[in-house]
Amino acid sequence: MQRIRLRYTKRGRLRFTSHRDFQRAFERALRRAEVPMAYSAGFTPHPKVSYANAAPTGTGSEAEYLEIALTEQRDPEKLRLLLDESMPTGLDIVDAVEARTSGLAERLEASVWQIRLPGADRTEAAGAVQTFLAAGTVEVERRTKSGMRTFDSRAAVKRLEVVDDAGDGPVDDACAILRLVVRHSTPAVRPDDVLSGLRATADLAPPVPAAVTRLAQGPLDEETGTVTDPLASDREAATAVRFAAAGPASPPAVQEGPSAEAPDGSA
């Protein structure tokens, strides 16, 4: 089997798409694009699709990942284009690589989130961020399937700052933009948990609900606090395979006659 890893987005109104809704849309796209999918065994076979750390419903994302298994070889980029054409606008397939390494899920160590706070004062938000980061622990509550759960929202936060540019132009004075880098831990700390922590430690409560977008997820550089591309190792492995298939480079031709440094023929 060939395994292909895909990165997709949830943009605009499609951020309200649940993970199950996306699964249905993606499986329809696989059929429309006539992708030669591998199927599981048993009485109810289903296409072999593995999803990794999907974003919560209601949040946008530029960095969702999945892996599919094929019974025939396909060019990853051509496959990406076919699938993207078959998906609703907003659920866009933006990257594809052949899986040549193991452990994609394990490489998703952290996420970068953008949190837009309409109506929040940027100076007040910056003060709240400093108060939150200075705290040793910030306990918050969240309702789970097993009931209310209390956990520390501070421990998983690697970086949190107010930014002057959201990536799509200058930030309006009546809107604070937070950039959050959070480790993937157990229990998972979500952006709304950090917002609850900001409210608990510094009484930061914007009048309008926050708009949250995941910008990236992947390996975490502990020293710099940056999150890198989780598909980079697959790209590097593919490049190495292409070089190996091409064979050793031919040695440069030996120049005969006068050298280039001696036009008159003398050395």
Query: In sequence order, what E strands does the chain have?
Result: 2-10, 49-52, 60-70, 93-98, 110-118, 139-144, 147-152, 157-163, 175-183, 211-218, 220-221, 226-227
Find the length of the chain: 267
Q: Mind listing the pLDDT tens digit for each residue in 61-96?
A: 999 999 999 999 999 999 999 999 999 999 999 999
Q: Please answer whether residues 29 and 83 qualify as being in contact, where contact means their C-beta atoms are separated by less than 8 angstroms.
A: yes
Furthest CA-CA distance within the chain: 91
Q: Which domains does the chain have, with CATH numbers?
A: 2-106 (3.30.70.580), 109-222 (3.30.70)
Pairing of strands 220-221, 226-227: antiparallel
The one-letter amino acid code at 19 reads H
pTM of the model as a whole? 0.85
DSSP 18: -
Residue in the structure block whose two tokens are 């622990």: 137
- Residue 42 gets the label, from left (phi > 0), alpha (psi -120 to 50) or beta, of left
* pLDDT by 10s per residue, the chain, length 267: 899 999 999 999 999 999 999 999 999 999 999 999 999 988 889 999 999 999 999 999 999 999 999 999 999 999 999 999 999 999 999 999 999 999 999 999 999 999 999 999 999 999 999 999 999 999 999 887 788 889 999 999 999 999 987 665 555 567 999 999 999 998 899 999 999 999 999 999 988 999 999 999 999 999 999 999 999 999 998 888 777 777 665 455 544 444 434 444 443
Q: Which residues contact 242 (CB under 8 A, 6 or more apart)?
A: none
Q: How far is 168 from 63, CA to CA, in rounded Å?
A: 17
Q: Report the pLDDT value the prediction gives residue 204, as an integer from 0 to 100.
A: 94
Using alpha carbons, select from 102, 97, 106, 109 the residue that is nearest to residue 231.
Answer: 97
How far is the CA of 106 from the CAs of 9, 72, 188, 202, in angstroms? 20, 27, 14, 34
Q: Report the pLDDT value the prediction gives residue 251, as an integer from 0 to 100.
A: 52
Q: Please answer whether residues 29 and 91 qualify as being in contact, where contact means their C-beta atoms are separated by less than 8 angstroms.
A: no
Computed over every residue of the chain, the mean pLDDT equals: 89
Q: How far is 126 from 58, CA to CA, in rounded Å?
A: 25
Interhelix angle 19-32/76-86, rounded to 10 degrees, is 110
